[in-house]
Amino acid sequence: MPPKDNKRPANLLIIAYYFPPVKVVGAVRLFHFYQESRKHFGQVQALSSTNRLRMAQDDSLRLEGASVTEVPAYDLRRATLAHAAENQPHLSHRAKSRPAARFLGRLLDSFPFNLLIGDGGLIYILLAYRQGKRLVREHHITHLFSSYRPWSDHLVAWLLKRRFPHLFWIADFRDLHVDPVRKNVLWPAFQRWCNRRILRRASLATTVSEGLKRHLEQLAPNVYVLRNGIGERMGEKEEKLFEQFTIAYTGSLYEGLQTAGPLFQALQQLLEEGKLEEEGIRLLYAGKDGALWEQWLRQYGLNGIGQNRGLLSMEEAKTIQLRAHANLLLSWSLPGGGGILTSKVYEYLAAGRPILAIVNGDGDEELEELLSGHLLFSTSQQDAVPALKTFILGVSGAPPKAPPPLPEGLEWGKNMEELVKTVFKN
């Protein structure tokens, strides 16, 4: 809770272009952050874009009673939404794989273009700043929270912090703006300089893992790890396992960063050796990148055991996680060690089903600690494929085991309590 000597309670303004219930990965973190913030702040206001109303919605992320102020955004996203199937706020794998699209993506991620025509855009920034000033005055806002991406949200918060120096600004990073693995921007040195100039006004920068923290500490003076968490253990709900042995992957795929190669190679060998029948196993995918998943399957001749469910709501995806015999997690390591710890890790832990994790790179100690009792491989392991073959043969015909106990401190509530202690201490 806020300090007792305050005459007024602490009030929070969340600045989020992709505020829930938009059907994007980043909205899940914002959903939980908003819910938990209401326990610690007198008021929680949100500032977002009218574009969120044009995007596909996920009813399981709907926040009833949320006070949201929306401003127009005349950005490139608005134009793509008008032509996208079901108003999805993302491009297809085929579109993203084109050289022109890849260059445009890097351009839109880079200063100054990310502020001019990237998500949000200049008009959104100016209108959000104007509305933000009103909200700060009318609701006696004491704290700001903005989350990348997009960068436009951070710039709105930066402008408000300049105008109202008393504000405590939390600048959140679900991803790195200048990613050393993805190489997603033009002129990286200039981008880092822009980050430093803006983030030096942030009271606190937060991110999702120790691996990202090490990189963010080069850009911001005060960095805190606010991990994603779980709200409840889904495994306590009764869901019957799929009749066919199923390994499921739910979520986005990142070409060139993730790999399912060791698993697919193990399955390919088991099928060729006659130790496994196609009727005995299924690789189930649910997400926006089904075309890439099917491409991977074709590379290993596994089309016959693949299934693509497409983009589902969070609740529908969680049902698959509960019914799967094993949930597949694909991650990657960062230069200097550590990884990213996406929200998918916590969804899988909450499901209580066995997790099969493959890290592209040298491994991730933080992820390994979280997945104690589950199965984790890295592509640097020489014995990954033989070990996966042993695992698949061992579990495909065996009765399901009880889920391992959850590590301590994974609940969103506890994570937020620790953050609030840090925030109100300053």
CB 415 within 8 Å of CB 208: no
Average pLDDT of span 237-248: 86
**Residue 382, class by beta-carbon neighbours within 10 Å (0-12 exposed, 13-18 middle, 19+ buried)?**
exposed
Q: Cα separation of 121 and 81, whole Å?
A: 15
User: What is the full DSSP assignment across 409-423?
Assistant: T-BHHHHHHHHHHHH
Within a domain: 359: yes
- On whether both 225 and 239 belong to a single domain, the answer is no
pLDDT at 291 over 70: yes
Q: How confident is the model over 142-196, as pLDDT tens digits?
A: 999 999 989 999 999 999 999 999 999 999 999 999 988 888 999 999 999 999 9
pLDDT of residue 89: 53
State the residue for tokens 């693509």.
Answer: 308
CA atoms within a 13 Å half-sphere pointing along the CA-CB vector of 95: 11
Preceding omega of 192 cis (within 30 degrees of 0)? no
Average pLDDT of span 366-383: 85
pLDDT class of 124 with cuts at 50, 70, 90: very high
Within a domain: 5: no
Better-scored residue on pLDDT, 364 or 4: 364
Look at the alpha carbons of 72, 74, 77, 78 in this order and tell me if their dihedral is positive or negative: positive
**% residues pLDDT > 90 (the chain):** 66
pLDDT of residue 395: 80
Within a domain: 308: yes
Q: Using CA atoms in the order 80, 82, 88, 93, what is the torsion angle rounded to 10 degrees?
A: -40
Q: How confident is the model over 253-275, as pLDDT tens digits?
A: 988 889 999 999 999 999 999 99
Q: Which helix (H) or strand (E) holds 151?
A: helix 151-163
Q: Cα separation of 51 and 77, whole Å?
A: 8
Within a domain: 406: no
Query: What's the whole-number average pLDDT of the chain?
Result: 89
CB 212 within 8 Å of CB 338: yes
- On whether both 25 and 163 belong to a single domain, the answer is yes
Within a domain: 208: yes
- On whether both 159 and 199 belong to a single domain, the answer is yes
- On whether both 198 and 218 belong to a single domain, the answer is yes
| CATH code of residue 374 | 3.40.50.2000
Q: Cα separation of 68 and 47, whole Å?
A: 6
- On whether both 179 and 287 belong to a single domain, the answer is no
**Residue 98, class by beta-carbon neighbours within 10 Å (0-12 exposed, 13-18 middle, 19+ buried)?**
exposed
The CA radius of gyration of the chain, in Å to the nearest whole number, is 22
- On whether both 254 and 281 belong to a single domain, the answer is yes
Q: What is the pTM of this model?
A: 0.89
Within a domain: 184: yes
Q: Cα separation of 187 and 191, whole Å?
A: 6
pLDDT class of 213 with cuts at 50, 70, 90: very high
Better-scored residue on pLDDT, 220 or 380: 220
- On whether both 166 and 45 belong to a single domain, the answer is yes
Q: Cα separation of 330 and 216, whole Å?
A: 23
CA atoms within a 13 Å half-sphere pointing along the CA-CB vector of 425: 7
Q: How far is CA 30 from CA 63, 187, 239, in A?
A: 11, 30, 27
pLDDT of residue 230: 87
pLDDT at 94 over 70: no
DSSP state of 406: P
Give the number of domains in the chain.
Answer: 2
Structure tokens at 26: 């980043």
pLDDT of residue 111: 96
Q: How far is CA 171 from the centre of its chain?
A: 16
- On whether both 238 and 353 belong to a single domain, the answer is yes
- On whether both 271 and 388 belong to a single domain, the answer is yes
pLDDT at 204 over 80: yes
Q: Give the E-state strand segments of 221-270 in sequence order.
A: 223-225, 246-250
Least confident interval from 144-158, 284-298, 334-348: 334-348
- On whether both 324 and 272 belong to a single domain, the answer is yes
pLDDT of residue 316: 94
Average pLDDT of span 48-65: 93
Within a domain: 3: no
DSSP state of 40: T
pLDDT class of 202 with cuts at 50, 70, 90: very high
Within a domain: 221: yes
3-state secondary structure of 281: coil
pLDDT of residue 235: 47
Report the relative pairing of strands 168-173 and 204-207 from DSSP bridges: parallel
Q: Give the E-state strand segments of 20-167 in sequence order.
A: 43-49, 67-71, 143-148
Q: Cα separation of 355 and 246, whole Å?
A: 12
pLDDT of residue 170: 99
Average pLDDT of span 54-79: 92
pLDDT at 423 over 60: yes
All residues at 6 or more sequence positions from 274 whose CB lies less than 8 Å from its CB, including other chains: none
Structure tokens at 417: 């309590």
Q: Cα separation of 88 and 66, whole Å?
A: 23
pLDDT of residue 280: 87
- On whether both 294 and 254 belong to a single domain, the answer is yes
Average pLDDT of span 112-124: 93
pLDDT at 92 over 70: no
State the residue for tokens 């909450």.
Answer: 350
- On whether both 184 and 254 belong to a single domain, the answer is no
pLDDT class of 341 with cuts at 50, 70, 90: confident
**Residue 288, class by beta-carbon neighbours within 10 Å (0-12 exposed, 13-18 middle, 19+ buried)?**
buried
pLDDT of residue 238: 65
Domain with 99, as residue range(s), is 11-229+411-425
